[in-house]
Chains A and B, each alone.
Chain A
């Protein structure tokens, strides 16, 4: 089959690889009908996530049709022919983390848990197409994929919603929504979201459906800010305006009640000097992540507020404003999304028309053109917000 493979830093290639088969008794094989490139795939492309190997199949946002099931897949849960969306974290459904709905922290699905434990203190779940640190599972930017624990993870789509309406239930819609969910939004809340990429847009939509009073988008790409404006959100272009000052103006000096970091480890900063400082520290490996958005969110948040982090961090950061965090009674909440927890309720919101996930799609490309998709997404060319690939 054709599959998008990591070929070294800044290189992806569509290669011919073997078709996947059943390796565990509760596996299923999915014929992929739609898949997408995620912002976190760019962290892999850019070489910021360790343990990538040449030939690793990329992609953790995919959906399709079940074409094969392992001998122990419960037929009441999944059958050949079912149309499914596959969540990016692989959950076993049986461990303490899964029982507590902390699916992305599943204790059993990462065969390389020992390595993850060294990096993170405790292991994390397996993730499709997302380095060997999270298990070494082949991803879904391909024609077929193997899905472990197929009777636990995939969401069956039984209505006639299009692929594009439900594909993002695999990651970015629940991820953005969890950012808002963790922020415990109240009707009086002003919510600021750093990053107006697809996850940021869905964090804003999440804040909207959860009833926030005002939603503020912070980015520097005019087309991304325009997308937020189109939804009725307030915008701040950090290339043109000082973010902290503007947020104070917008909130009568209080600061946003809830701040959501939808940027993560490859942030850029309005000040070339500060950006340069972190970029150099990152280059010499004395800091692995560039945390401008997180620092700013902590400084901006009103005392007693919640800073909710859904942007991806992989390692260590410098100059975390611990004084602001501690003295002003801030709560910091975070996590890779527990997608399985949110898929069904969000599918219902899509069915009811409360959220339109298709609004972020700007590019539809055949799988063969995945390298071009990565390129325009990474460099924000052609007003690229979200690339959907069709095998």
Chain B
């Protein structure tokens, strides 16, 4: 399954590249990622939420890295969902902004997990990556993921439809999302 998405961010190319290059940052805006940690030597360890409350983990190597231009990564070793990704940073015509173009590929396993993952991404799998990039833009342009009363939980907005009413959160609900 191939996913593509693109957005334009009004920040310099070097800054957008540097943010993505620090893979730990990816889980702040990518809905399915719980955690990405650098384990040294260009290797990262990824933890993602899979359907039915399962988590999927894998190691990835950075196999392409041209400062300010592109980053590529690819899962290595035994994993349930082999995957790879590439991101390109292109100067926008306005001379200020950066176009971010992402291509990701998931090799879906057979059996129950493969079906479940496909279903999780839905009929329009690009949508989730679109939303991920929207949040990347929010983080880089405004400092954080924007929350509303109807969609207070940041990364999961689309999955929550129909949402909670556009009504203030109770103190208990707010504790879950309070700014640190």
Q: Residues of A with Cβ closer than 8 Å to B?
A: 1, 3, 5, 17-26, 53-57, 70-72, 92, 94-96, 99, 107-115, 117, 123, 126, 129, 132, 135-139, 144, 146, 148-149
Chain B: which residue is nearest A71 at the CB level?
B179
How far is it, in angstroms, between the C-alpha of A117 and the C-alpha of B141 when the chains are bound? 20
Interface majority SS (helix, strand, loop, mixed), chain A? loop
Given contacts A18-B168, A22-B179, A99-B10, whether A111 and B143 have CB atoms under 8 Å apart is no
- Of B43-51, B59-67, B144-152, the segment with at least 4 beta carbons within 8 Å of chain A is B144-152
How far is it, in angstroms, between the C-alpha of A135 and the C-alpha of B142 when the chains are bound? 16
Partner of B141, one of A54, A94, A111, A138: A94
CB proximity of A58 to chain B, nearest CB, Å = 9
- List residues of chain B with CB within 8 A of the CB of A111: 146-148, 150-151, 154, 157
- List residues of chain A with CB within 8 A of the CB of B162: 53, 132
The contact sample of 23 A-B pairs, CB cut-off 8 A, is: A5-B167, A18-B170, A18-B171, A19-B168, A21-B169, A23-B152, A23-B178, A25-B143, A26-B143, A53-B162, A57-B149, A57-B165, A72-B143, A92-B138, A95-B10, A96-B97, A111-B151, A111-B154, A114-B157, A115-B158, A136-B148, A137-B150, A148-B146
Judged by a CB distance under 8 angstroms, whether B6 is at the interface is no
Judged by a CB distance under 8 angstroms, whether B18 is at the interface is no
- Of B82-90, B101-109, B127-135, the segment with at least 4 beta carbons within 8 Å of chain A is B127-135
Chain B: which residue is nearest A97 at the CB level?
B10
Judged by a CB distance under 8 angstroms, whether B166 is at the interface is yes
Chain A: which residue is nearest B151 at the CB level?
A111
How far is it, in angstroms, between the C-alpha of A109 and the C-alpha of B141 when the chains are bound? 11
CB proximity of B110 to chain A, nearest CB, Å = 30
Tally of contacts, chain A with chain B, CB under 8 A: 145
CB proximity of B156 to chain A, nearest CB, Å = 10
Q: Is the CB–CB distance between A23 and B165 below 8 Å? A: no
Given contacts A96-B94, A114-B134, A135-B150, whether A23 and B169 have CB atoms under 8 Å apart is yes
Q: Is the CB–CB distance between B146 and A24 below 8 Å? A: yes
Chain A: which residue is nearest B154 at the CB level?
A111
Q: Is the CB–CB distance between A25 and B179 below 8 Å? A: yes
Partner of A23, one of B8, B161, B174: B174
Q: Is the CB–CB distance between A126 and B141 below 8 Å? A: no
Q: Is the CB–CB distance between A114 and B167 below 8 Å? A: no
- List residues of chain B with CB within 8 A of the CB of A115: 158, 161
Interface size on B, residues (CB 8 A): 38
Partner of B163, one of A21, A53, A108, A109: A53
Judged by a CB distance under 8 angstroms, whether B76 is at the interface is no
Partner of B166, one of A25, A53, A123, A149: A53
Closest 10 interchain pairs by CB?
A136-B150, A55-B165, A20-B168, A111-B151, A56-B166, A138-B149, A94-B141, A136-B166, A23-B147, A136-B148
Q: Is the CB–CB distance between A92 and B141 below 8 Å? A: yes
Q: Is the CB–CB distance between A23 and B179 below 8 Å? A: yes
Judged by a CB distance under 8 angstroms, whether B13 is at the interface is no
CB proximity of B5 to chain A, nearest CB, Å = 11
How far is it, in angstroms, between the C-alpha of A113 and the C-alpha of B174 when the chains are bound? 22
- List residues of chain B with CB within 8 A of the CB of A5: 165, 167
How far is it, in angstroms, between the C-alpha of A152 and the C-alpha of B144 when the chains are bound? 15
- List residues of chain A with CB within 8 A of the CB of B141: 92, 94-95, 107-108
Q: Is the CB–CB distance between B168 and A129 below 8 Å? A: no
Given contacts A23-B152, A24-B144, A109-B146, whether A114 and B158 have CB atoms under 8 Å apart is yes
- List residues of chain A with CB within 8 A of the CB of B144: 24-25
How far is it, in angstroms, between the C-alpha of A63 and the C-alpha of B152 when the chains are bound? 23
Judged by a CB distance under 8 angstroms, whether B32 is at the interface is no
CB proximity of A184 to chain B, nearest CB, Å = 26
How far is it, in angstroms, between the C-alpha of A26 and the C-alpha of B138 when the chains are bound? 13
Q: Is the CB–CB distance between A114 and B166 below 8 Å? A: no
How far is it, in angstroms, between the C-alpha of A1 and the C-alpha of B157 when the chains are bound? 26
- List residues of chain B with CB within 8 A of the CB of A23: 147-149, 152, 169, 174, 177-179
Judged by a CB distance under 8 angstroms, whether B74 is at the interface is no
Partner of A137, one of B10, B130, B149, B178: B149
- List residues of chain B with CB within 8 A of the CB of A54: 165
Chain B: which residue is nearest A19 at the CB level?
B168
CB proximity of B175 to chain A, nearest CB, Å = 10
Given contacts A17-B168, A96-B97, A108-B138, whether A146 and B161 have CB atoms under 8 Å apart is no
Q: Is the CB–CB distance between B171 and A96 below 8 Å? A: no
- List residues of chain A with CB within 8 A of the CB of B138: 92, 108
How far is it, in angstroms, between the C-alpha of A319 and the C-alpha of B144 when the chains are bound? 44
Chain A: which residue is nearest B9 at the CB level?
A95
Q: Is the CB–CB distance between A24 and B166 below 8 Å? A: no
How far is it, in angstroms, between the C-alpha of A120 and the C-alpha of B178 when the chains are bound? 31
- List residues of chain A with CB within 8 A of the CB of B147: 23-24, 111
- List residues of chain A with CB within 8 A of the CB of B130: 114, 117
How far is it, in angstroms, between the C-alpha of A111 and the C-alpha of B158 when the chains are bound? 9
Of B134, B162, B166, B179, most A-chain CB atoms within 10 Å: B166
Q: Is the CB–CB distance between B146 and A126 below 8 Å? A: yes
Q: Is the CB–CB distance between A96 and B10 below 8 Å? A: yes
Chain B: which residue is nearest A29 at the CB level?
B168
